């Protein structure tokens, strides 16, 4: 039973990583592009780096929402089906 709980914990962390990775990578790439633009033009405006990253992350979130929901529903179904295994 401990092995199932450990496996469930590992799977939970994997799912959290899979779900957050597209948005984190999008924000990272947008931040890098904006930083290069700011360095070449010497514009140091704070909103120039913040607002585009937010727009990119929200766009990626909207685009990947069906995939994310399917992964979360599958995981939740699996956890609910495992409940009888944990009851003595």
Please tell me the pTM assigned to this model: 0.80
The stretches of 1-88 forming alpha helices (DSSP H) are 2-41, 46-86
Nearest to 74, CA basis, from 12, 9, 32, 30: 12
CB half-sphere exposure, 24, CA atoms < 13 A: 6
Q: What is the reported pLDDT for 59? A: 96
pLDDT per residue of the chain (88 residues) written in tens, 0 to 9: 888 889 999 999 999 999 999 999 999 999 999 989 988 988 888 778 889 999 999 999 999 999 999 999 999 999 999 989 888 6
**In contact, 49 and 31? CB cutoff 8 Å:** yes
Q: What is the reported pLDDT for 87? A: 82
Q: What is the reported pLDDT for 88? A: 67
């Amino acid at each position: 039973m401990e092995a199932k709980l450990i496996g469930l914990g590992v799977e939970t962390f994997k799912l959290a990583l899979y779900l957050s990775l597209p948005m984190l990578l999008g924000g990272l790439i947008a931040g890098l592009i904006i930083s290069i633009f700011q360095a070449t033009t010497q514009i140091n405006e704070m909103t120039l780096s913040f607002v585009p990253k937010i727009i990119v992350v929200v766009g990626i979130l909207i685009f990947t929402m069906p995939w994310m929901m399917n992964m979360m529903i599958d995981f939740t179904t699996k956890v609910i089906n495992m409940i009888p295994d944990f009851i003595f």
